């Protein structure tokens, strides 16, 4: 028998199913797990050995919510995720994909919502977009030297734009004709045939379009009526595929309609539904009880297959000046973000009538919101006026004897994007964070890798969850065992999404990460900045704890080890496109009992 390509020795092995971990030696050959044994495995002259003694050997993490759609075309290694043990990423979330629409339409739809440079996204798509169908799109991804494995949704705003155009697709007076609905359905069906996971949509109107012609209109999918949504959902239900979306945040919440659509009562088949959530919201602290109880009860008694997609770490966001998506949720903030020219924007921010408008929005405690709108809970972390650094805008306001809104706007006008600040909008209470991490109605996700480059960095959120779990694993009643936490970050997600990923058993593809629990310390929460050449040198927020995830392998090839990527990474691919419900082709592996 041929030598193993990789042997991992003496590690604590987690297979991704949630069963108890065992100390085992693993042998990898031809990209798959070929041996799992308590006994030493033979080491050949060309075998790469990883000494995993004292470490955990896990399936690679699955990140189901990324926005790498443009970046992957020019930087397919996606190292910011891979270095932290993520070996599978999902594109096409939040109604945004690049399959059917033109490069300019895609850039207009994508860049403001996800806070990436419009010109860079347009340039990338102009140069790289060679496809006009889902099958061609999949082929284009397969021809890239992918670092991680990639799966994708088709975006509702993408297909709606392709059929109606952005203008008609964002006009509330326009109702798609039967023929236009059929065209959307044909596009969705073609995407499912090509192996995409399902449909991503968006009903929350705060997500706005960039560009010139239709700037500041909400995304096209937010204009769809339930007749259209149900039509598309029927296709998803018939194929057993997934709806990914987000509920409205306004005086007419639609979450009950999502529950009803997910139910299999009277329809035979449930509709898999994953909705984004800031589950423990500072704006609505009591909402966490609904998040914890609704999905488990409905899944059990109403025949739904529903999950809240939840970021299992504090949802802390940063901003340069006023460039932050939460300001889109009220009129005064959206008016400022509509203006791209800094001179025009500053003229607006100085205007007293505008400031009265902003103060009314800020003080209106009854308006639906994501941001809790408390400038006493927003800390300045960088400013040319160093006397303000470390203080909240509320403290600055108190010192100056002005309203917090005026203190904030004065600093924005004076310093623009050189004013940097942060606030935490959700997932801030450890007690509820533990409860959510253990809830069957919650799935781990919403990290937004590849988006909001100056606003947040959750590329390593699986590592950060494992740090919390490791801190309490010797408690009498830990909120999660390590095995269960690993399952939640790997096999549970892969199984629900229908992906051939997330497991590390005999015969499985060898996507794995070696985690040193000694590296699960406070440095996993630290943030850094790294220039992104593909985006004109924009400094992206990143995570840089390389003592936790000490080795990552994709398809049986080590790509990151001891803080460094292997030679040639990003030029020769290791990842594959993963089609929904399909197991990757592999050689015949002799089966042996798990021991």
Q: What pLDDT does 595 receive?
A: 33
Q: What pLDDT does 592 receive?
A: 32
Q: What pLDDT does 584 receive?
A: 65
CATH no. for residue 151?
3.20.20.140
Are 225 and 99 found together in one domain?
yes
Q: What pLDDT does 278 receive?
A: 83
Q: What pLDDT does 587 receive?
A: 38
Asked whether residue 162 is domain-assigned, the answer is yes
Q: In what helix (H) or strand (E) does residue 6 lie, and over which residues does it extend?
A: strand 6-13
Are 455 and 528 found together in one domain?
yes
- DSSP string across 268-317: SS--EEEEEE-SSBSS-TTHHHHHHHHHHHHHHHS--EEEEEE-SS-EEE
Are 476 and 380 found together in one domain?
no
Asked whether residue 71 is domain-assigned, the answer is no
Q: Give CA 423 to chain center in angstroms.
A: 19
Go through 457-485 and write b for each residue having 16 or more CB atoms within 10 A of its CB, e for each that does not: bbbbbbbbbbbbbbeeeeeeebbbebbbb
Range of the domain at 159: 92-196+209-239
- DSSP string across 131-199: -SSHHHHHHHHHTS--SSEEEEPEEHHHHHHHHHHHHHHT-TT----HHHHHHHHHHHHHHHHTT--EE
What's the pTM?
0.95
Are 482 and 520 found together in one domain?
yes
For residues 470 and 439, what is the distance between their CA atoms, to the nearest angstrom? Answer: 18
- Please tell me the total count of domains within the chain: 3
Rounded to the nearest 10 degrees, the angle between the axes of helix 287-301 and helix 255-262 is: 20
Asked whether residue 272 is domain-assigned, the answer is yes
* Helix/strand/coil for 108: helix
**Residues in a beta bridge with 24:** 11
Are 285 and 235 found together in one domain?
no
Asked whether residue 201 is domain-assigned, the answer is no
Residue closest to 274 by CA, chosen among 266, 285, 262, 289: 262
Give pLDDT tens digits along the chain (595 positions): 679 999 999 999 999 999 999 999 999 999 999 999 999 999 999 999 999 999 999 999 999 999 999 999 999 999 999 999 999 999 999 999 999 999 999 999 999 999 999 999 999 999 999 999 999 999 999 999 999 999 999 999 999 999 999 999 999 999 999 999 999 999 999 999 999 999 999 999 999 999 999 999 999 999 999 999 999 999 999 999 999 999 998 888 899 999 999 999 988 899 999 999 988 999 999 999 999 999 999 999 999 999 999 999 999 999 999 999 999 999 999 999 999 999 999 999 999 999 999 999 999 989 999 999 999 999 999 999 999 999 999 999 999 999 999 999 999 999 999 999 999 999 999 999 999 999 999 999 999 999 999 999 999 999 999 999 999 988 888 999 999 999 999 999 999 999 999 999 999 999 999 999 999 999 999 999 999 999 999 999 999 999 999 999 999 999 999 999 999 898 889 999 999 998 765 433 333 333 3
Are 233 and 109 found together in one domain?
yes
Asked whether residue 471 is domain-assigned, the answer is yes
Q: How crowded is residue 536: how many other Cβ atoms within 10 Å of its Cβ?
A: 11
**Residues in a beta bridge with 308:** 275, 442
pLDDT in tens, 468-495: 999 998 888 899 999 999 999 999 999 9
Are 153 and 251 found together in one domain?
no
From 421, 441, 458, the end of a domain falls on 421
């Amino acid at each position: 028998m041929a030598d193993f390509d990789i042997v991992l020795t003496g590690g604590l092995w987690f297979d991704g199913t949630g069963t108890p971990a065992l100390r085992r030696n693993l042998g990898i050959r031809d990209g798959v797990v070929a041996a799992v044994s308590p006994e030493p495995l033979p080491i050949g002259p060309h075998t790469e050995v990883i000494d995993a003694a004292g470490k955990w050997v896990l399936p690679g993490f699955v990140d189901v919510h990324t926005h790498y759609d443009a970046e992957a075309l020019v930087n397919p290694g996606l190292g910011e995720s891979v270095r932290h043990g993520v070996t599978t990423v999902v594109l096409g979330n939040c109604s945004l994909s690049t399959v059917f629409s033109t490069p300019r339409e895609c850039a207009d739809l994508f860049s403001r919502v996800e806070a990436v440079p419009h010109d860079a996204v347009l340039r990338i798509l102009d140069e790289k977009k060679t496809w006009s169908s889902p099958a061609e799109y999949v082929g284009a991804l397969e021809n890239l030297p992918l670092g991680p494995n990639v799966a994708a949704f088709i975006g509702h705003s993408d297909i709606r734009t392709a059929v109606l155009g952005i203008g008609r697709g964002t006009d509330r007076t326009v109702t798609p004709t039967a023929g236009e609905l059929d065209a959307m359905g044909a596009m969705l069906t073609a995407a499912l045939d090509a192996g995409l996971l399902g449909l991503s949509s968006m009903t929350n109107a705060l997500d706005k379009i960039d560009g010139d012609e239709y700037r500041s209109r909400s995304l096209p999918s937010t204009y769809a009526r339930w007749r259209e949504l149900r039509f598309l959902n029927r296709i998803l239900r018939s194929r057993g595929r997934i709806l990914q979306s987000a509920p409205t945040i306004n005086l007419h919440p639609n979450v009950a309609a999502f529950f009803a659509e997910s139910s299999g009562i009277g329809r035979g088949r449930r509709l898999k539904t994953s909705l984004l959530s800031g589950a423990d919201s500072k704006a609505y602290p009591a909402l966490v009880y609904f998040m914890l109880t609704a999905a488990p009860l409905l899944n059990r008694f109403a025949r739904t297959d529903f999950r809240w997609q939840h970021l299992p770490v504090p949802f802390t966001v940063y901003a340069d000046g006023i460039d932050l998506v939460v300001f889109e949720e009220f009129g005064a903030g959206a008016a400022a973000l509509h203006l791209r020219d800094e001179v025009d924007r500053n003229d607006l921010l100085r205007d007293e009538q505008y400031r009265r408008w902003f103060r009314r929005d800020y003080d209106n405690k009854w308006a639906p919101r994501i941001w809790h709108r408390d400038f006493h809970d927003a800390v300045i972390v960088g400013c040319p006026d160093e006397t303000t650094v470390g203080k909240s805008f509320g403290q600055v306001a108190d010192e100056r004897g002005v309203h917090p809104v005026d203190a904030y706007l004065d600093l924005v006008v004076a310093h623009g994007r050189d004013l940097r600040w942060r606030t935490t909008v959700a997932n801030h209470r450890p007690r509820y964070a533990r409860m959510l991490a253990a809830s069957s109605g919650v799935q781990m996700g919403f990290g937004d890798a590849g988006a909001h480059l100056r606003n947040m960095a959750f590329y390593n959120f699986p590592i950060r969850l494992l740090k919390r779990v490791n801190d309490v694993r010797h408690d009498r009643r830990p909120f999660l065992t390590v095995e269960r936490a690993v399952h939640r970050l790997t096999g549970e997600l892969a199984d629900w999404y229908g992906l051939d990923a997330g497991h590390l058993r005999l015969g499985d593809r060898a996507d794995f990460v070696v985690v040193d629990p000694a590296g699960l310390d406070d440095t996993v929460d630290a943030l850094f900045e790294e220039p992104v050449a593909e985006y004109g040198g924009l400094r992206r927020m990143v995570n840089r704890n390389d003592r936790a995830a000490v080795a990552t392998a994709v398809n049986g090839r080590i790509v990151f080890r001891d803080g460094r990527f292997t030679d040639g990474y990003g030029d020769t691919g290791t990842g594959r496109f993963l089609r929904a419900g399909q197991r990757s082709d592999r050689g015949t592996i002799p089966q042996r009992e798990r021991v």
